[in-house]
Structure 1
Amino acid sequence: MADLSLEQTLGRAELREMKGIPLTTATYSIWDQVRKFKARPDDLLISTYAKAGTTWTQEIVDMIQQNGDVEKCRRATTYRRHPFLEWYIPEPSSLRYSGLELAEAMPSPRTMKTHLPVQLLPPSFWEQNCKIIYVARNPKDTLVSYYHFHRMNKAMPEPGTWEEFMEKFMTGKVLWGSWYDHVKGWWKAKDKHRILYLFYEDMKENPKQEIQKILKFLEKDLTEYVLNKILHNTSFEIMKENPMANYTKDFLGVMDHSLSPFMRKGVVSDWKNYFTVAQNKKFDEDYKKKMADTSLVFRTEL
C-alpha cells in the first residue's frame, strides 16, 4: 500500500467558536484543559494576534534570557523552546503537537506563547500576576501576512481568494477572531496587569530601543556588546536563515515554503502591494468605526 501523503493525513483545519472566537476544532476539543492551565508566578507569556512578529519577539526574549548565547538559543526550534499554549495537532503522530503538554513538562522559569484574545486567556495567568509581552502590528500588514500564512500552512483553514479573506478578516471570521477586538482587549488589560505592550512598527524602526524596553521589563541588565549581539542575531536576515527559528525544521509537509516562506518579508507597508484603491477606502472606513472607542494608534507606514 502506498504511503499516505501528508496532504491526505492532515486536512485543512475546521473552525469552531468558543464564546464567539473561532478556534481550530483540535484546540476546541481540549478547551477545558487550556482553560484550567496552571500558570506559575515566574512564567513569561508572549501574546500576539497571529503574524504580528511573534517568532521575532520569542527570539529576542530567548537571546536575552540566554545572555546572547547563540548556541543555547539553537538548542531547539522556537516551537519547542516556547510552548504554543493552545495549539494542538493530535494526528498524524509524526506531527503531533501539544503546547499544553510541553508547557506542563517544562521546568521553571517558562516562556510560552499564545494568540488568544484577552478574554480567553487561562485565568491562572492573572491570578499569578505573570508578566506578559504583547506585540501589535498594524492591521493591513497583519492581514497580508495572515493571508499568505493561510496559503502556505495546511494546518490553517483554506483562505479563499484575497477578496474573500479580507472580508473574513474584517468581520473577525478568522482563526483567533477579530484583530480589532484582540488589540483593543489587550490594550485595556495593560492598565490592570503586568503587560508590556509593544508595536511591530516601533520594533522595525528602532529595534535597539524596543529590546531595551524588554530588558527593563524582564529586569535584566546586559552589556552593550551583548545587546548588539542580540540586535544582530534577531535581525530578519539572520533569522530567516536560522533553521531553529524559520520553521523549516518543523511541520515538514504542512508548511509549503515554496508557496510563501514562513518568514516572508518582515517589512512595514507591504499592504500597498495588495490593496486596491477601493479596498483601501473600504478598509479605512470600517477601521475608523471599529477603532472609534480606543486610544490605540497604528502606523501603516514608516
Structure 2
Amino acid sequence: MEESRKKIVGLVENAEAAANSMRRDELLFSYKGILYPTTVCSPESFKALESFEARRDDVILAGYPKSGTNWLSQILTDLIAISQKKTPGSESSVNAEEPEEFPYLEVGDAGKYERMTKLPSPRFMVTHLRPENLPKSIFQSNAKIFLLIRNPKDVATSYYHYSNGLALLPSYETWDDFFTDFMTRKMSWGCYFEYLSEWNKYADKENIMTITYEEMKENPALSVKNIATFFGIPLTEEQLHLVLHRSSFQSMKKNSDKTHGSVGNILFRKGGVSDWKNLFTDDQSKEMDRVFEEHIAGTKLGKKLKYDLYCKA
C-alpha cells in the first residue's frame, strides 16, 4: 500500500510541475459556469463522474477548499479503520489509510470511476463540489455524508495563502486582488457563499452530518465522539486518544511530507481560527458581513457557523 501513497503524492507533484510551465490564464477552466484547476480536473472526468455509482456504505466528506478537509479526512479514515477492527497507524489498518485512488472525487482521469468499482467497501471519498454537480447516485444511495463548513473569513484567508503557495492555482500579488476575486465568483470550485447556500438545501437529511471547523477546534474530543456516534462506531478511551493524537495539527504537519509530499507544508500552514484579522480591512470585513447576511445568515448552515462569534472583530 506504500505504492498507493506514492502514486497519489506523485499525482499532485506532477500536476504542480505541469502548472509551473503554464500561463496564469491557462491554470483554470470553466465547466458549467464554475472554475476548476486544469492540471487536476478535466471536462472529460466531470462527464464520466455523472454516471458514477455510489454505494450505501460509501463515506463521503464534502467541504469547500480550505475548510479543513485534510484534517477531517484523517479522523474519518482512522474511524473507518476502527470500524474494521483495526488499529489506526498499524500495518493491519493500511487499507483504510492508503487509498488506491486519489480520494478527491473530481480529481483524476476519466477512467478513475471505472477503477473505483473494484475498490472494497467502505470507499472513502472527499469532494469540493457543490451538491448539484455531484452524481445523483450519491444522494440516491443514502450514503453517509459529512459536510464540513468553516467561517468564510478564515476560508478566504487560508485560500489566499494556499493559492500563493500552490503552482496549480493562480497566485496573487496582493490580498486586495485576491479578496476581489473571492467576492466576485472567480475562485476554483466556485463561490463559497453559493456553495453554502446550495448545501443548505440538504442540511436536514438524516444521512448528512454537518460539522464546523470551529467546533472541532473548540472541542476535538467531543467532535470525534459525535462523528463516531453518527458512524455507529463505539469508541474506547484509548481509541479516542489515538485518533485525537494522529489528527492533531502538530502530528499531521510533522507527517505531511510522507502523506502529501512537497505540498505538505502548504496544506498545513497554521490550522487556527481568526487569522482573517491579519488581512481584512474594515471595509472588506463589512463587505463580507453584508454578503453573508444577504445569502446565508438566516439558514441552518448560517446559524451553525456562529458568524457573530468568529467573524466580527
Q: Same fold, TM exceeding 0.5?
A: yes
Deviation at 1:231, TM superposition (A): 1.1
* Structure with the bigger percentage of helix: 2
Q: Distance in 1 between matches of 2:101 and 2:235?
A: 22
Q: What is the aligned partner in structure 2 of residue 45 from structure 1?
A: 60
Q: What is the aligned partner in structure 1 of residue 289 from structure 2?
A: 284
Q: What is the aligned partner in structure 1 of residue 17 from structure 2?
A: 6
Aligned positions of 1:123-134 closer than 5 A: 123-134=136-147
Query: In structure 2, what residue type is equivalent to 1:84?
Result: Y
Q: What is the aligned partner in structure 1 of residue 106 from structure 2?
A: 86
Deviation at 1:204, TM superposition (A): 0.3
| Residue correspondences, number | 283
Aligned positions of 1:42-191 closer than 5 A: 42-67=57-82, 68-72=87-91, 83-88=103-108, 100=113, 103-191=116-204
Give the alignment partner of residue 231 of structure 2, picking from 192, 198, 218: 218
Q: Distance in 2 between matches of 1:105 and 1:66?
A: 19
* TM-score normalised to structure 2 length: 0.81
Partner of 1:145, secondary structure, is helix
Deviation at 1:275, TM superposition (A): 0.8
Is the 1:55–1:78 contact (alpha carbons within 8 Å) kept by the matching residues of 2? Answer: no
Is the deviation greater in 114-123 or in 276-285? Answer: 276-285
Compared with structure 1, are the counterparts of its residues 46 and 78 closer, same or farther at alpha carbon in structure 2 (3 Å cutoff)?
farther
Q: Distance in 2 between matches of 1:41 and 1:286?
A: 37
Deviation at 1:208, TM superposition (A): 0.9
Deviation at 1:127, TM superposition (A): 1.7
Query: In structure 1, what residue type is equivalent to 2:76?
Result: V
Report the identity percentage.
Answer: 34
Deviation at 1:82, TM superposition (A): 5.9
Is the 2:50–2:135 contact (alpha carbons within 8 Å) kept by the matching residues of 1? Answer: yes
2:23 pairs with 1:18 = no
Is the 2:54–2:141 contact (alpha carbons within 8 Å) kept by the matching residues of 1? Answer: yes
Partner of 2:164, secondary structure, is helix
Unmatched 5+ residue regions in structure 2? 1-15
2:43 pairs with 1:28 = yes
Q: Distance in 2 between matches of 1:122 and 1:160?
A: 37
Moved over 4 A (4+): 7-10, 72-82
Give the alignment partner of residue 242 of structure 2, picking from 219, 229, 234: 229
Q: Distance in 2 between matches of 1:286 and 1:132?
A: 27
Is the 1:55–1:245 contact (alpha carbons within 8 Å) kept by the matching residues of 2? Answer: no
Q: Distance in 2 between matches of 1:286 and 1:160?
A: 24
Q: Distance in 2 between matches of 1:9 and 1:37?
A: 31
Partner of 2:42, secondary structure, is helix
Is the deviation greater in 29-38 or in 184-193? Answer: 184-193
Partner of 1:147, secondary structure, is helix
Partner of 2:121, secondary structure, is coil
Compared with structure 1, are the counterparts of its residues 54 and 286 closer, same or farther at alpha carbon in structure 2 (3 Å cutoff)?
same
Partner of 1:196, secondary structure, is strand
Deviation at 1:53, TM superposition (A): 0.8
Q: Distance in 2 between matches of 1:290 and 1:145?
A: 21
* TM-score normalised to structure 1 length: 0.83
Deviation at 1:40, TM superposition (A): 1.5
Is the 2:20–2:168 contact (alpha carbons within 8 Å) kept by the matching residues of 1? Answer: no
Query: In structure 2, what residue type is equivalent to 1:6?
Result: A
Q: What is the aligned partner in structure 2 of residue 266 from structure 1?
A: 271
Is the 1:168–1:174 contact (alpha carbons within 8 Å) kept by the matching residues of 2? Answer: yes
Partner of 2:65, secondary structure, is coil
Is the deviation greater in 181-190 or in 146-155? Answer: 181-190
Q: Distance in 2 between matches of 1:145 and 1:159?
A: 13
